[in-house]
Structure 1
Amino acid sequence: MAAKKNIDKKQVTAFSDYLMSRRETLLNNWRQRCAQDGQLTSKSSFTREEFNDQVPVLLDILTQRLNGEKPRYDPIMTANEHGLHRWQSGYELPDLIVELEHLFAILHEEIDAFQQTQTDLSPAALAKIYREIHRIYSESCRGSIVYYNELRQTTAAEQAARLQNALDQLQELAKVRNEHLRHSSHDLRSSFSVLLMSSQLWQLNVTDLERTELIGMLNRNLTSIRDMLLQLTDYARIEAGQETLIIKKFDVAALIGETAELIRPTANAKKLDLNAEGPAPFMIESDRVQIQRVLQNLLYNAVKYTKQGRINITWTKENDSRWVLSVQDTGEGFAENSPAGLLAEQLKPSAHSTAIYQQIPEKPAPTMTSENEKIDMKESEGLGLFIVKKICELMKASMDIESNPGFGTLVRIRFQINQEQNKQVQ
């Protein structure tokens, strides 16, 4: 009997992990479904953070309950804040209720999708999943309706504090960039030292096995040096202002699909699930090459530092002027004091309610015991992210990074739908 209960618990936990890996896709599908509902109003002008509001926190509460943990936040109070936000935005109460109905309808669809991958899902585990979803749905509706008419205002002092915090983050980011370039130059020197040592050993009398090992060492370091020099060249060209935008109209959904297919063999070799999901066709006027470089760098990082699980690429229209590209993986996340980790800290969403990984229960990150794993997490890991950030600055796009050790990384970028039009306005 105890063994059966353990199996049920593991299946519920597996659904919780699956739901977390699908979080960005779920939220984008929710927004798209609401946008297509002709009875709803006042949603097209919302940014992603404004639309999601407290819903990620409610989903965190659901995740914690599925894992048998005590929620960190009260669901009624969280739903209260969500209802308050909708009231301040001029929502009618039926609109709020219908939005929640769309959200939980998508959650039920995720259960159906999960069942297709788990043929032995027990009735007890499935009942537990449905029970917790119904529970959080009831609390969400009750909390939103009860506190729907309460008001809250942000004081001028809080606004000043946020502006000061933004200025402090910009200054810290400049320090991080310099530190990262220092680490990159150190990695180049180290790689060249290994090459020099290998070439000297080659001149000695060595066995065929040792010669094979030397060739492997040379190839690995030559590949590493090539990639690093290409990235540094891209970074220097952008930093020097030599990059220009070539604006053309194209289907970005097709571009994302093509780019995903190019990297799929590498993901398959590591047994990673690579998924791309978003509206198609999706026509924009922007620089095709720069957007492809952004996605390639993000996917390169995701595949390189994800040892198992999945990588999800999601794109969606945020409003009439912006669209969002997101890449989420189930890798180990960035080390706290690494350049990439510091960059992620500076670019994380300012409001905790919009951050997917903010409220995840703390678990120890996987320990690294082998030398190969140590090489994978070397300090030069974030150069691709810095290049992406520079391209975003060039294209007047915004960039968010969320990373939690042991759970994965999410990079979210908001591009302009009509780059030429906004360029003329500026």
Structure 2
Amino acid sequence: MPEEPHPELKVLTEYLSDKKEAILEQWEQEITERGVKSQDLLSISQSAFQNSIPAFIDNFCNGMLHQRQALSDVLGEMHGSQRWEYGLALQETMREWNILELVLMDQINAFQEENTLSVASLKKAHRFLIEDINEGILYSVKKYAELQQQESEARLRDLQQALKEPSDISRRHNLRSTSHDLKGIMKNIQMGFFLLEDENIDREAAEIIEKMSISADSLEQLLNDLLDLFRLEARHEEIELSEFDATKILSELCESMHPMATSKDLELACDGPESLIVKSDSQKVQRIARNLILNALKYTSEGYVKVKWKEQSDHQWSLEITDTGPGLSATHAETLTTKTKPSSPVESEPLSSPANQQAPDEVQNHGEGIGLLIVRHLCKLLDANISITTAPEDGTSFEILFPRDLSGK
């Protein structure tokens, strides 16, 4: 026969049931004050925001009376799914659960002060709460993993469809290589999802979630890079001309990259004139520079990355990025030189160096050559010429010549 609930716990559950509205109000208030509530969640009704939490509180109280239901029945398709749909990050959803735990713990402690629960009953109530909160987090994580997997698979199907008609051999090689990387990252996400099916992983949950998050972020970056490439190849990018100070844009960009350089003990040296006024597309110039600098920092393990810009003539200005990294492989460099005429463009969005390839689960090789193709297209749009000097283990130098006034072209 099931054990009869302790009279003290029965009184506690009645107290918490009476306080449920106050608990929910306090929970929502603290979430708002701590900035966890997203803009989308701010606009929904109170009942929609609370979602399955009232049922969770009922389940917790019933559990202390040995009438526990499986949380999957109460939460299953609800809390994690709704938070995903409203764009709340997994970490923020987990913080919601943690805040709920603190609010309920405060209520239990307040009851204990007024009614003097025995130590055994207090410990039992705390244990029930911790177990239920952990299960709530687990079900939310499972739902996020499931939805993330579905979304990634859908985007991967779109990519595979786009790969059916590559325009040339180089593009086919680059896209197939990237598709392989995407599949490797998907395996990480699927493995994380599989491990989350195990209910006994509390001690490993944080590590699993972090690994899944890194894989998902890398997958998203790869897909975004490919979408950029497809958009450029389809000529859906337009030039937005404006007059701007290239020195200001590049100096600010370099400043934003210093923390990354410092974290790797690299020197990031930036040098240019006090002012360099040009007329071009400032966002595309920034994208070219950012991609090349980020790539250089990413694949240089020691030494420096140098960024230099200057006026070449009344009609041209140049940007040069030099690193002491592993350099491009001979095959890759040959592909670039044969594909890129002296007046053509090339570039990199975290472009991956073949000399620095890593296992798929380390998620560092982001589609060899995709970044260079993106840069080449951006440079072509801006009527910029690119030259590359590289040698294995001897670093790489990119020099790009931009027109001072693109509107005159």
Structure 1, unaligned runs of 5 or more: 1-172, 351-364
Contact 2:242 2:279 in 1 (8 A): yes
Structure 1 residue 374: Cα displacement: 7.6
Partner of 1:29: none
- Confirm whether residue 397 of structure 1 aligns to residue 372 of structure 2: no
Q: 1:188 aligns with which of 176, 182, 199?
A: 182
Among candidates 391, 399, 405, match of residue 412 of structure 1:
399
Matched, 1:264 2:258: yes
Could you say what secondary structure the match of 2:223 adopts? Answer: helix
Matches within 5 A, 1:247-286: 247-286=241-280
Q: Deviations over 1:160-188 (max 9, x none)?
A: xxxxxxxxxxxxx9422221011112211
Structure with higher RCO (Cα < 8 A, 6+ apart): 1
Task: Please list the CA deviations of residues 217-276 of structure 1 after superposition, one character each: whole Å capped at 9, or x if unmatched.
Answer: 202211111211221121111111111111111110111001111111111111111111
**Is contact 2:280–2:405 with CA below 8 Å preserved after alignment?**
yes
Q: What's the TM-score once normalised by structure 2's chain length?
A: 0.52
- Corresponding position of 1:198: 192
SS in 2 for 1:320: coil
- Asked if 1 retains the 8 angstrom alpha-carbon contact of 2:184 and 2:361, the reply is no
Which amino acid in 1 is paired with 2:381? L
Over 3 Å counting, the alpha-carbon distance change for 1:367 and 1:408 in structure 2 is closer
Is the CA contact 1:344–1:403 (under 8 Å) kept in the aligned structure 2?
no
Q: Equivalent residue for 1:321?
A: 315
Within the candidate set 343, 346, 365, 2:338 is matched to 346
**Count of matched residue pairs:** 233
Establish whether residue 333 from structure 1 lines up as the match of residue 353 from structure 2. no
CA distance in 1, matches of 2:395, 2:361: 16
Mapped contact 1:247–1:287 kept (Cα < 8 A): yes
Code of the aligned partner of 2:386: M
Local SS of the residue matching 2:217: helix
Distance 1:209 1:309, change over 3 A: farther
2 CA distance for matches of 1:180 and 1:342? 14
- Pick from 231, 234, 238: which aligns with 2:232? 238
1:229 and 2:219 are equivalent in the alignment? no
Of 388, 393, 406, the match for 2:375: 388
- Which amino acid letter does the alignment assign opposite residue 332 of structure 1? P
- SS of the aligned residue for 1:197 comes to helix
Q: Cα RMSD (Å) of the superposition?
A: 2.8
Q: Do the aligned residues in 2 keep the contact of 1:314 with 1:326 (CA within 8 Å)?
A: yes
Aligned to 2:284, which of 287, 290, 297? 290
The aligned residue for residue 142 of structure 2 is none
Letter in 1 for 2:370: L
Check whether the contact 1:286–1:420 (CA below 8 A) recurs between aligned residues: yes
Report how far residue 349 of structure 1 moved. 9.1
The question of whether the paired residues in 1 share the 8 Å contact of 2:246 and 2:277 is answered with: yes
CA contact (8 A) 2:222 2:366 kept: no
Tell me how far apart the structure 2 counterparts of residues 345 and 195 of structure 1 sit (CA, whole Å).
Answer: 37
Query: 1:298 touches 1:385 (CA, 8 Å); kept in 2?
Result: no
Aligned match of 2:204: 210
- The residue number in structure 2 matching 1:133 is none
SS in 1 for 2:278: strand
Letter in 1 for 2:338: Q
Q: Residue 367 of structure 2 aligns to a residue in which SS?
A: helix
Q: Supply the distance in 2 between the matched residues of 1:270 and 1:381 (Cα, whole angstroms).
A: 22
For the 8 Å contact 2:278–2:405, the answer to whether it is kept is: yes
Match of 2:297 among 291, 296, 303: 303
SS of equivalent to 1:293: helix
Q: TM-score, normalised by structure 1?
A: 0.50
Which has the greater radius of gyration? 2
Provide the secondary structure at the position in 2 that maps to 1:218: helix
Q: 1:342 to 1:191 in 2, by over 3 A?
A: farther
Decide whether the 8 Å contact of 1:349 with 1:400 is kept in 2. Answer: no
CA distance in 2, matches of 1:368, 1:388: 20
Separation of aligned partners in 1, 2:265 and 2:391: 22
Distance of 2:209 and 2:256 partners within structure 1: 27
Structure 1 residues 348 and 375: alpha-carbon distance in aligned structure 2, compared to 1, 3 A threshold: same
| Residues 181 and 360 in structure 2, CA contact (< 8 A), matched pair in contact too | no
Q: Secondary structure, in 3 states, of the residue corresponding to 1:242?
A: coil
What letter is aligned with 1:335?
Answer: S
| Contact preservation (8 Å) 1:245, 1:287 | yes
Alignment of 1:108-147 (within 5 A): none
Q: 1:313 to 1:195 in 2, by over 3 A?
A: same
Are the structure 2 counterparts of residues 420 and 306 from structure 1 closer, same or farther at C-alpha, using a change threshold of 3 Å?
same
Written as runs of structure 1 = structure 2, the 5 A alignment for 1:7-86 is none
The 5 A counterparts of 1:86-125 are none
Kept in 2, the 8 Å contact 1:315–1:325? The answer is yes
Counterpart AA for 1:410: S
> Does the 8 A contact of 1:284 with 1:418 survive in 2?
yes
- Against the structure 1 CA distance between its residues 224 and 195, is the aligned structure 2 distance closer, same or farther, given a 3 Å change threshold? same
Distance 1:287 1:367, change over 3 A: closer
